[in-house]
Every structure is written in structure tokens, then in C-alpha cells.
Amino acid sequence: MYMDKIKITMFHLSSSGSNNYYLYHAATKELLAKYEIELLTDRQALYNRYIDHSDVYITTHGEYSSNYDKINIDMWHGFPLKGMAKMDKQEEISDTHIHEHWAKMDMIMSYSSLYNTAMNACNGGNISQYRITGLPRNDALFSPHSKKNLENLFPKINMDTGSVIFFMPTFRKSFVTPDKLEGGKNFSNIFGFSEMHQQNFIEFLEENDITLVVKLHPFEEKYFTEELNALSSEHIIILNDNLLSKNGMDLYDILGSADILITDYSSVYIDYLLLERPILFLPTDLEEYKGNRGFLFEPYDFWTPGPKATTQHELQDTISRFLVEPDWYKQERSTILTLCHKYQDHHSASRIWELVDQYIEEHRDVIQQNREIFYKHKQLQSQIKAKINEMIELGQIAQANQAIQQYLEDNAADSEIYAMNGMLHLLNNNPQEAIETFEIGHRAFPWDEDLIYNMGYVYEWIGDKTSALTHYQKALDQSTQPKLTSLLLEKLSTLSSGS
């Protein structure tokens, strides 16, 4: 039986260590010819009206979960060191929801058996889901082009004789969860020290020919704008996700250029261990962090194979020693490296693609069956929604409302249901409820120009000309429907002329 190419959708949430970015670019010509493979940014995914038509989803941050039977593969975004999900002391998501999400995963790519144990404590999965492969972003650490990539971003860096140190702390607060504060870090300076003499630190960097690359977590970049601007020196450069994206790079394209890594509780150091280079830790709020986030592995000193600094003086002394004695803590690093990484090479992406290809081949019949079920269900949904729409046009409001409620018992709400529900509110002479329903639908399905048009229509109906024009123009900018485009142009012309 002929079968269209199997479609694989991958998600690229940021440029700060995206496993999907590296897996996508590691796909061979044979794989690209065999499958339809796409890599979507978060915005592209949000505006993709056919995202549920894929056969395989590969995620790193739980970006998408289909309501249909699909193949789901997870690579996550780092080694789990801190409590998360079921093991996070501040987690608000129910265990049931966590279990439901992870139960959908057909394969979870892993660093090692230790990773399996830690990850499973957090998500409550099953050992049969895990595949020890290593993760794609770590392949880039071994690239011979890391230093050149960093020079391309920052041409003034002295890569010939100077040293490069990366400072990459974990995030404590974010715009995603602004009410959730982790630890008790002093936010008056980026290191979290109780006292920080910036000029003294800058002079230290200059005297030792050190370039400090500061890379904050993407969630936290906006919180430290003022503090970062205060660190004005040719020996301090600020790296952010936007700069990497604009230059078509990911963090791991340049992380391999670092001679020393400084962090606190970020799992980036687990990846950096592969390079067998010095790591320095700044646990300035260790007890507070233990208290409100928690660690999966303790004692902290054992699992963090490097010296600890909690003051500026200790930081500078430790860096000075590492510059002349890079093998300091070598044995400790080797111990943790062996525990965390089964594979210590640059072939993780190849191993994953081999497994993905094999899994798809073994499940082709199932994929075909799932496709048939998917399209039959879509067809049935369309028929039901056509009937509901007919009821609305005939003014059978009560019947239409009852039909929508019955539909939602077996189906997730989609853009058309939001549109019809909003129209019912309008027919009930409740324009505000209609607008709110359309807005909720638009947030869930921002690609749907009909919902935006409907909002414009209601605003025009209640006499809010400015809002009507705004929504009609937005709908026009997104419209892919010739009839709707023509209608919107007519609406905009009429409202603009005031006739």
C-alpha cells in the first residue's frame, strides 16, 4: 500500500542548547529524502494550523501534546539535577497531569542509567521508554570550530593568548512563572555575592587577559539588564539568545571555546564535563535553594566536581589557580563524568536518528492505521460542526448550544467551536461574552483569521470603530482565504471612509 512520507515535527524553543536544533541539522540526506522533517520555532508552532497532522513529534520542553495517537519522542534539555515535576517542592501541576503527559512518550532519550533513574523519579514513567544515546547538543562541544564561532560573534576576543571563561548560572525567576522564586540569591550583582567591587573584578580580568562570557538563562535575561550594562569592559561580553539566533548559532556552537566554566546549580556543567576542563561553582544561596527547589542528588559537594566560591575574593583566587593548574579536581570531574555519561563522544545524534528510523519502520502499519483514524475523526468533526452551524443560521440557539456541549464531551475545543460559541453569545445579545470567547479562541489558535474577523465584527456591531479597524487589519494580514480577504478590504475601506 502506498503511503505518503511520514512527517516528523521538531521544536526549536531557544538557541541556548537546543537538542532539536542539533538533531535536525544532523539528519542525513537519506533521512531527509525518506521523511518530511520540519523544525519549528515556538512562533511557527503556535501559528501552524496543521501541526496535528504530523506522525512523529520530537520535543525538548513538552512543547506539544497531540490528542491523537502519534509517535512522541522526548529529548529534554539537560541532565535533571534539581527537583522538577513530581520532585519539585513548588510544583503546582498535579501528579495525574504529569503522568498523563509522560505516559504518551514512546521514547525518552537519555544520558545514562543514572539519568533514567533521576528523570523517572520526576515524571513517573516506565523504564521501557528510555533509550541511552547521549544528547545531540553535546556533539557540538567536540567541534573544532567553537573558537572561530565565538570570534565571529565577538571579533575583539583574544583567542590566541588569552583565556575564555563562561559564566552560566541557573535561573531563579522568570517571566513564565514570575511568582515562583527559587533560592535566595542576592540580585544586586550577577554572581549573587553579598559584596561586589566591579572595578576590582574588571582589573583582575584585564591583568590576567581573561574574557568573561556572561550567558544568563533565557528566562532571566531581562531581569539583569541594568547589572549587565554596569559591567562595562572589553573583557566582559554579554551573550544572549537573541544574538545567537540572529547569527544562526546555538550556545553549544561556542561553549566548547571555554577554558573554564562557572555556574551554580545549572546542569550545563554535566555536559561541559565531556571536555574535561575546569569547573567552578558559586553556591551563594545553597541552603535556600535546597529548601524551596531541592536537589535530586546530594551531597552537593560530591556531585559538583570543582571548588566552591561564595565571595569575590574566593572567585578570583580560584580562577587564578585554575589558570596555572587546570588538572585541579580532575579526578572528581572524571568520577561524575563516568556516572552521568555512558557515551563520551560526538555521535549522539546519529544514535538517535538510527533509533527513530528503526522505530518508525517497526510501526509503519500502526502509523497508517492512526492516520486513517485521524482523518475519519476530522471528517466526522466537520460534519457535526456543519450541523451546529446550520442550527445557528436557523436561529436554533438552544439546540446549537446543547450540540456544542455534547461535541466537547468527546472532542477538544478547536477554533471553529470557539467561533460558533462566540456567535451564540452574540445571538443572545451578549457581545462582551462573544468577544471574550473569540479572544480565548484566538489565544489558543492565533493562526485562525476567522476568530480575529469575528472580534472585529462584534466591535463594529457595538460601535467601537477603532477596535474594529484594528482587528480587521490584523485578520487581513493573516488571511489566506480570498473571499475573506475581499470582505476585509471592503470593511476596512467602509470604516476608514466613515460611510
Contact between residue 226 and residue 132 where contact means Cβ atoms under 8 Å apart: no
Per-residue pLDDT of the chain (499 residues; tens, 9 = 90+): 456 899 999 999 999 999 999 999 999 999 999 999 999 999 999 999 899 999 999 999 999 888 889 999 999 999 998 888 877 777 788 888 888 889 999 999 999 999 999 999 888 889 999 999 999 999 999 999 999 999 999 988 877 789 999 999 986 554 444 455 554 455 567 888 889 898 999 999 999 999 999 998 766 666 666 666 667 788 999 998 899 999 999 999 999 999 999 999 899 999 999 999 999 999 988 888 888 778 899 999 999 999 999 999 999 999 999 999 999 999 999 999 999 999 999 999 999 999 999 999 999 999 999 999 999 999 999 999 999 989 988 989 999 999 999 999 888 889 999 999 999 999 999 999 999 999 999 999 999 999 999 999 999 999 999 999 999 999 999 999 999 999 999 999 999 886 5
Side-chain half-sphere CA neighbours of 237 within 13 A = 17
| Residues forming a β-bridge with 7 | 36
Q: Nearest 10 degrees: CA dihedral of 124, 97, 85, 11?
A: 100
For the entire predicted model, the pTM comes to 0.88
Pairing relation of β-strands 36-41 and 7-12? Answer: parallel
Same fold, 7-136+349-357 and 139-343: yes
CA 448 centroid distance within chain: 23
The predicted structure's pLDDT at residue 182: 54
Sequence-distant (≥ 6) Cβ neighbours of residue 55 within 8 angstroms: 6, 7, 8, 70, 71, 367, 370, 371
Q: Residue 175: its pLDDT value, please?
A: 40
The CATH label, of 3.40.1360.10, 1.10.10.60, 3.30.2230.10, 3.40.50.11820, for the domain at 7-136+349-357 is 3.40.50.11820
Residue 231 three-state SS: coil
| Residues 10, 13, 19: CA angle, nearest 5 degrees | 60
Helix/strand/coil for 262: strand
Grid cell, residue 488, equals 476585509
Residue boundaries of the structural domains of the chain = 7-136+349-357, 139-343, 413-497
Report the distance separating Cα 176 and Cα 445, nearest Å.
Answer: 19
Answer whether 444's CB lies under 8 Å from 418's CB: yes
Point out which residues pair with 281 in neighbouring strands. 263, 308
Q: Are 8 and 36 in contact (CB under 8 A)?
A: yes
Third-level CATH fold of 413-497: 1.25.40
pLDDT (0 to 100) of residue 174? 42
**The domain defined by 139-343 carries CATH number 3.40.718.10:** no
**C-alpha cell of residue 36:** 518530511
Residue where the block lists cell 535553594: 289
Cα–Cα distance between 109 and 73 in angstroms, integer? Answer: 8
